Amino acid sequence: MEQYNFSNSNIDLACEEVGKFLASAGVDRREALRLKLTFEEVLLEYQSKFGEDATYKLKCIKRFSAIRVEMTVQGEGFNPLEKEDADSAVINGLLAGIGLAPTYSYRNGKNYIVFTPKKKPMSGTLKMLVAIVLSVITGLLLTLLPEGARTGLSENFLTPVADLFFGAIAAVSGPFIFLSVLGSICSMGNTETLGKIGKKTITAIFGYMTIAGGGLTLLATLFFKVTLGGVSGSDFTKVLELIYNIVPANIFEPFINGNSLQIIFIAVIFGIAMLMLSSKVSGVFTVVEQLSALVQAVMSVVLEALPFAVFVIFTNMIVSGTIVELLGSYKMILIIFLLVSVYLVGMVLWISARKKVSPAVLVKKILPTFLVALTTASSAAAFSTNVKDANKRLGIDKNLVDFGIPFGQVLFKMSEFAMFIPIVLTFAENYGIAITPVWLILAYITVWLISFAVPPVAGGAIMGFTVVFAQLGIPMEAMAIAIALNAITDFPLTAMNVTGWQLTMIDVADSLDMLDKETLRKEK
């Protein structure tokens, strides 16, 4: 921890130190530059408020995969991030929730500003691929051992280690999902601030995800054998039970039993109540923010072991011979890519027809954002390009862009259907689980619910796998392949979310009379 004052020379020095730390921590260069500029702006705001002689403490922390830049200013409460209008406060809360803006808190006479940049996304993918390659090599070498030695190794070491990892994930998943949903709702600000724009945006998110998600689910089933027997009363009861069981008997039972769907329900109820009482429970918002940061830090520690866990699980599957039953990953990957392509092409044609704009022109305008998201697998990296092009090239009003893009980045996750549905269908086929209409309905409802609960952070998809697999009866040993597939397909899936929401916002803007159609239709 270093101490500085707010003189111009010290501001330059502190910004330089932060820049060096971010570079050494592996933060993307564009992300690091954006953070440095924001950090400098915060320092200048405090300089104006407290004077050049006032001091602050700067702490740069890198623990496991978590990166934090924290500054502490002693004195009266002053939030340099706070804007005059309530809408700006909501926008800043949304940006902070997805790691694109710092967070502010005031405790015990001290102002705290915390930046939480993300590392380059490619590093995690490379670690995963290396783990898989090493597991294949190790597993093949271990198959040369006598059968008794292989069985003992699997039962006494590999299986317990894998179970230990799944146990750690299960222990953290409940609080992680609860705080993710609660934080997403709280970041909206309050019901008055949300206003007409927020309501239209939410309607579009729910509508498009419900309809398009159903379409992607039906398309994916074309590649699998579906048992089309008559639906009995007991089968229909399973769907009703899923819906009825979402409401828990008490607020503690879901966390004890690990029922994630009930946890999501409780989080939604609490989140709506907090929005309605926002002025009376302002302190709770801060607590939620701090608890969310704490749980994400714990999750980052668990996820540091993810490549090793994948190595152990894959090695165990090769040693035990179960890997043969699951060799269908290529099929999942091809279907995922197909669903991504069909969805994006369909959205382009849908918006082009409704807004009377040439598909070629529309593709040209969304291409820069799509390429950034595709090559980085990071919605944060594509954020600045997304904001600029949505306003300047697509003709969406700046007020809607400022609110809608970060809001959609939190809630709009169409990629969950393109990823989860092919994966669960393939595993159901491999493990002999009958794919019936009722099973498909259960899968669709579960993925629909979990898509809003999975946060747009590293490790979020893993929480989703644990919930969906448990709900649909898929063995947890399939997690290794699912995690590996998520790492491989993260690039097109991120592009699907970012570009899909950009296209959806055109429709939202038009319904709010906040779309400049001349700008949208012109070629440049």
Q: Which is more confidently placed, 174 or 71?
A: 71
Residue 479 in contact with residue 465, Cβ under 8 Å? Answer: yes
Q: Would the pLDDT of 279 be above 70?
A: no
CA 317 to chain centre: 29
Contacts of 107 (CB under 8 A, 6+ apart): none
Domain at 2-115, CATH homologous superfamily: Histidine kinase-like ATPase, C-terminal domain (3.30.565.10)
The share of the chain scoring above pLDDT 70, in percent, equals 84
- Output the CATH code of domain 123-521: 1.10.3860
384-428 confidence digits (pLDDT tens): 788 888 988 899 988 888 778 877 877 788 988 999 999 999 999
Q: Please name the helix (run of DSSP H) or strand (run of DSSP E) that holds residue 57, with its range, or none.
A: strand 55-63
d(CA 102, CA 515): 30
Q: Would the pLDDT of 84 be above 60?
A: no
* pTM: predicted TM-score of the whole model, two decimal places: 0.70
CA separation (Å) from 123 to 129, 130, 137, 174, 422? 10, 11, 21, 27, 26
Which whole number is the average pLDDT over 469-484?
Answer: 82
pLDDT category of residue 350 using cuts at 50, 70 and 90: very high
Range from 115-119, 240-244, 284-288, 365-369 that averages highest in pLDDT: 365-369
pLDDT at 94: 53
Cβ neighbours around 15 below 10 Å, total: 16
State the sign of the Cα–Cα–Cα–Cα dihedral 96, 407, 513, 517.
positive
3-class secondary structure, 290: helix
Q: Would the pLDDT of 493 be above 80?
A: yes
d(CA 221, CA 434): 13
Mean pLDDT of all residues in the chain? 81
The share of the chain scoring above pLDDT 90, in percent, equals 19
Cβ neighbours around 475 below 10 Å, total: 13
Backbone angles phi, psi at 292, to 5 degrees: -65, -45
Residue 468 in contact with residue 422, Cβ under 8 Å? Answer: no
Strands 66-74 and 103-107: unpaired
CA 346 to chain centre: 24
Q: How far apart are the first and last CA of the chain?
A: 49
Q: What are the extents of the domains in the chain?
A: 2-115, 123-521
69: β partners: 60, 115
Q: Would the pLDDT of 90 be above 60?
A: no
**Radius of gyration of the chain from its Cα atoms, rounded to whole angstroms:** 24
If you ran DSSP here, which 8-state letter would residue 516 be given?
Answer: -
